Amino acid sequence: MTAREKLLAEAAKRILITDGAFGTEIQNCKLTEADYAGTLGLTKDQKGNNDILALTKPEVPEAIHRAYFAAGADIAETNTFSANRISQADYAAEHLVREINVESAKLARKVADEFEALDGRPRFVAGAIGPTNKTLSLSPDVNDPGFREIDWDTLVDVYKEQAVALVEGGADFILVETVFDTLNAKAAIMAVKQLEAELGREVPIMLSMTLTDLSGRNLSGHTVEAFWHAVRHAKPVTVGLNCSFGATQLRPHVKALSEIADTLIMVYPNAGLPNELGAYDEMPETTAGLVAEWARAGQVNVLGGCCGSTPAHIAAIAEAASALPPRQLPVLERVTRLAGLEPFIMAA
């Protein structure tokens, strides 16, 4: 059974649970720069380079994976959000991208397999790929709208380097998350498709968009419906939303996406909105109650948490979702669906 088939079989039985935030959990460990840097001898300060911990302090991400699985998670996201050549250049660690991703995936795979062996319930590893700090759609120079810091082929190559290493380390899926630029996501899709051609097998993709304002658009201006039309050709095993806001603000957009996407819906919001100090105050029971509303409405297949969420949040979400049925995939009319910034369906 392929990873896609295995996930779909489990998702037909129940609402699945993905894990919670890594960044805020790592911050809670109060690590020093020396903890991050280890003995790698890198020339720049490594504090805040969460991805490098797979090499310098692997017991930290391993313990976080373990805590989320113990809380009820079915899916572990690798600690590799910024483990790409572009983002790691800020830390002079771009030459370690392959090693970081391989080791991060191995860590998640080891813990996932341990928990699956305990109770026989399948556990999955999603190789997390963040958006980088570059955008293909927008110019960073207000005086030169045509300028781009990066081109398509370069970004495809950056994403492919990361995807290759994540699959080598044992990831079941490639999760392209926090998509603020739809064109960046399409470059990641191209990278995975190239990898599939080389491997001679499917590497299932998960896609997760992030909204930048309450109108329901990402930074490149696409609505959730337009985003889906732009990426549905990739046949992702899940599509959904993460980060952005808390569950309250995401409600209408989850509903809209659930009605048009003929694949699994995965949503993992922040634990509410940050306070004036940038911390998240929403209690686990509150988050769980809010996302359970989506489940009761038949709108989701996978639930979890993003910024500010903890193992306690994931445990509460798992408990709230345990007795609720999973969303049924809609059967859609076969028509031509296109996207500008808005969705467009061509009349029959």
pLDDT tens, residue by residue, 193-223: 999 999 999 999 999 999 998 889 999 999 9
Cβ(217)–Cβ(223) under 8 Å?
A: yes
pLDDT reported for residue 278: 86
In tens, the pLDDT along 52-93 reads 999 999 999 999 999 999 999 999 999 999 999 999 999 999
Contact 318, 72 (CB under 8 A): yes
- The per-residue pLDDT for 277 is 86
**Rounded-to-integer distance, Cα 337 and Cα 190, Å:** 20
| Mean pLDDT across 333-342 | 92
Average pLDDT for 217-239? 97
Residue 248 banded pLDDT, cuts 50, 70, 90: very high
pLDDT digits (tens, 9 = 90+) for 135-175: 999 999 999 999 999 999 999 999 999 999 999 999 999 99
The stretch 257-283 carries a mean pLDDT of 94
pLDDT reading at 109 higher than 90: yes
The pLDDT of residue 348 is 59
Structure confidence by residue, pLDDT tens digits, 25-34? 999 999 999 9
Q: What is the pTM of this model?
A: 0.96
CB atoms within 10 A of CB 34: 12
Neighbours of 288 (CB within 10 A): 22
The β-bridge partners of 105 are none
Mean pLDDT along residues 126-141: 96
Query: What single string gives the DSSP state of each residue in 195-246?
Result: HHHHHTS---EEEEE--SSTTSB-TT--BHHHHHHHHGGG--SEEEEEESS-
* Mean residue pLDDT across the chain: 96
By the 10 Å C-beta count (0-12 exposed, 13-18 middle, 19+ buried), 151 is classed as: exposed
Give the whole-angstrom CA distance, residue 102 versus residue 119: 26
